[in-house]
């Protein structure tokens, strides 16, 4: 049941995420009249700000990250909602002052926690000690939530001491993206896909999340994590689960997450015997991205490293529906372009009547493009206009659903707008349940153990390329080409 809260508390309120995403998202919700009336937003961090200084800080962040989208009177109203409490979250004593600053929370409190992992334990303890973990308080947790199954369990256990699962909202910002939610609309709002959405109709699935950025000043975090844990463990496995899941009975957090977790638990383990053939890892060297010369990973890092900045995996879901259908996943930094998409390659027609007349058929492909553009495109065969004296010419043409054009009058929202509003209102559907996270980690840990056992090191690739050539080999040996 949705139950909007009266107060929002942001930990890490001066951090990068707050500046780039959270404050702009909250402003957007405020400007559209979507935040509960009277909702106050309390930021906390170690900075010695008072309310006025934090409002100034937020204003600057909005100027930088929402340059054209601001309305001065909405901005003034938004800033009035903000207040700030300076504290060191590692010290339990400080939470008493925070509770005082928040005042009466009988109208409900939503907490958004985006802090360094080592602050998790003291923060949860502090919240509990200060009476900020009661039945009307819910908590949103931003990653990283551990770096393997064991540490993720520890964090989940710790959080569970103060917040039961139904009040714990684990964030995967990919689930806030409009096109990701559109996977559900496409699959379960249209009758034509489901009958062929299985091993009989689909040859393989590709999921690519390629980025052009490098370390972006996050060396401390990224070098300990790498591409598999930064992107595959969470975002890409969630995409895979949405593509592969059985139709849920209803649109709610239980039904949808029950189906996703079944997929995640059905991922075929990839271990020491399989990693060499089923996974490829790479690390970028110098090169040029979008015409700009960039340094290699270890130069940026200023030390040697075996962390992978690229990973490609051939995954399988062991179920009746997906038997024999590979899911090729790949993601990396400093690649040739920023492109996130899911491409579903259907099987060829069982018999071509065009072959004798020279007509060549391509199997259909459905492309779900998440970014930078948002579209769904079905590639279908069509006859080229003409009298066909020299044979029938067939060509693949796109049936295009450009979401940007079809919904041109609707503002494209930041993923966090959706997630923050759902947190404030208490709708868990687009948040990740504990069993999902743990199933994700279990599969990822197996791959990492396999890399370790085989002493696998990342292969170099030039910045601005599509990753190491071995990643091409991963699909080509199955007769599949990456969609680029």
Give the span between the Cα atoms of 454 and 451, in whole angstroms.
Answer: 5
- What DSSP designation does 30 have? H
Min. distance of Cβ 340 from ligand BG6 in angstroms? Answer: 6
Instruction: Output the smallest distance, CB 352 to ligand BG6, in A.
Output: 39
Query: What Cα–Cα distance (Å) separates residue 7 from each residue in 233, 239, 290?
Result: 32, 32, 43
Residue closest to ligand BG6, measured at CB: 230
Residue 285 backbone phi and psi in degrees, to 5: -100, -175
Count of Cβ atoms closer than 10 Å to residue 484 Cβ: 11
Dihedral sign of CA atoms 255, 259, 261, 265 in order: positive
Distance of closest approach, residue 433 Cβ to ligand BG6, in angstroms: 18
Furthest-apart CA atoms within the chain: distance in Å: 86
Name which of 214 and 446 has its Cβ closer to ligand BG6.
Answer: 214
Residue closer to ligand BG6 by CB (options 211, 422) is 211
Instruction: Provide DSSP, 215-246.
Output: -TT-HHHHHHHHHIIIIIIIIIHHHHHHHHPP
Q: How far apart are CA 193 and CA 364, in angstroms?
A: 12
Least separation in angstroms between residue 107's CB and ligand BG6 is 32
Interaction site with ligand BG6 (CB under 6 A)? 211, 230, 340
Q: Which is nearer to ligand BG6, 212 or 345 (CB)?
A: 212
Known active-site residue 85? no
Question: Which residues 6+ apart lie within 8 Å of 95 measured at CB?
Answer: 87, 126, 127, 129, 130, 132
Q: Which is nearer to ligand BG6, 88 or 484 (CB)?
A: 484
Between 203 and 341, name the residue whose CB sits nearer to ligand BG6.
341
Pairing of strands 82-86, 40-45: parallel
User: Which CB, 31 or 414, lies closer to ligand BG6?
Assistant: 414
DSSP conformational letter for 144? P
DSSP class of 356: G
Question: Shortest Cβ distance from residue 2 to ligand BG6 (Å)?
Answer: 26
Minimum CB–partner distance for residue 266 and ligand BG6 (Å): 24
Least distance to ligand BG6, CB of residue 119, Å: 18
Report helix, strand or coil for 207: strand
Catalytic residue among 65, 235, 316, 351: 235
Radius of gyration, CA atoms only, the chain: 24
Cis peptide before 322 (omega within 30 of 0): no
- Residues that are catalytic: 235
């Amino acid at each position: 049941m949705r139950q909007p809260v009266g107060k929002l508390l942001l930990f890490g309120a001066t951090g990068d995420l707050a500046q780039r995403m959270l404050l702009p998202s909250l402003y957007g919700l405020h400007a559209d009249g979507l935040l509960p009336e009277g909702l106050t937003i309390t930021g906390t961090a170690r900075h010695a700000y008072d309310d006025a200084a934090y409002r100034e800080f937020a204003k600057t962040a909005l100027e930088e990250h929402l340059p054209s989208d601001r309305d001065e009177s909405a901005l003034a109203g938004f800033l009035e909602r903000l207040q700030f409490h300076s504290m060191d979250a590692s010290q339990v004593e400080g939470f008493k002052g925070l509770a005082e600053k928040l005042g009466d929370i009988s109208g409900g409190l939503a907490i958004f926690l985006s802090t360094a992992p080592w602050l998790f334990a003291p923060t949860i303890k502090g919240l509990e000690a200060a009476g900020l973990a009661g039945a009307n308080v819910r908590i949103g947790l931003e990653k990283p939530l551990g770096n393997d199954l064991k540490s993720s369990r520890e964090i989940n256990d710790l959080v569970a001491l103060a917040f039961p699962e139904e009040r714990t909202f684990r964030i995967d910002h990919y689930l806030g993206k409009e096109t990701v939610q559109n996977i559900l609309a496409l699959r379960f709002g249209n009758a034509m896909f489901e009958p062929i959405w299985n091993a009989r109709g689909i040859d393989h699935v590709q999921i690519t999340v390629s980025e052009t950025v490098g370390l972006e000043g996050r060396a401390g975090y990224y070098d300990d994590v790498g591409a598999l844990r930064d992107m595959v463990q969470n975002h890409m496995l969630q995409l895979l689960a949405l593509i592969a899941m059985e139709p849920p009975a209803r649109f709610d957090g239980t039904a949808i997450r029950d189906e996703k977790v079944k997929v995640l638990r059905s991922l075929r383990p990839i271990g020491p015997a399989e990693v060499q053939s089923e996974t490829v890892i790479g690390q970028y060297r110098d090169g040029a991205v979008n015409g700009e010369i960039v340094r290699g990973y270890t130069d940026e890092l200023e030390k040697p490293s075996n962390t992978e900045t690229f990973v490609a995996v051939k995954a399988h879901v062991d179920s009746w529906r997906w038997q024999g259908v590979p899911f090729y996943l790949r993601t990396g930094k400093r690649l040739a372009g920023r492109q996130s998409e899911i491409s579903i390659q259907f099987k060829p027609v069982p018999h071509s009547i065009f072959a004798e007349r020279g007509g060549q058929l391509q199997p259909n492909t459905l492309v779900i493009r998440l970014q930078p553009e948002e579209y769904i495109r079905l590639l279908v065969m069509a006859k080229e206009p003409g009298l066909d004296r020299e044979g029938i010419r067939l060509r693949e043409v796109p049936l295009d659903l450009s979401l940007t054009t079809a919904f041109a009058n609707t503002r494209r929202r930041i993923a966090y707008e959706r997630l923050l509003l759902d947190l404030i209102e208490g709708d868990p559907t687009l948040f990740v349940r504990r069993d999902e996270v743990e199933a994700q980690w279990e599969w990822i840990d197996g791959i990492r153990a396999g890399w370790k056992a085989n002493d696998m090191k990342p292969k170099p690739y030039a910045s601005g390329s599509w990753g190491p050539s071995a990643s091409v080999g991963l699909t080509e040996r199955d007769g599949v080409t990456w969609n680029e």
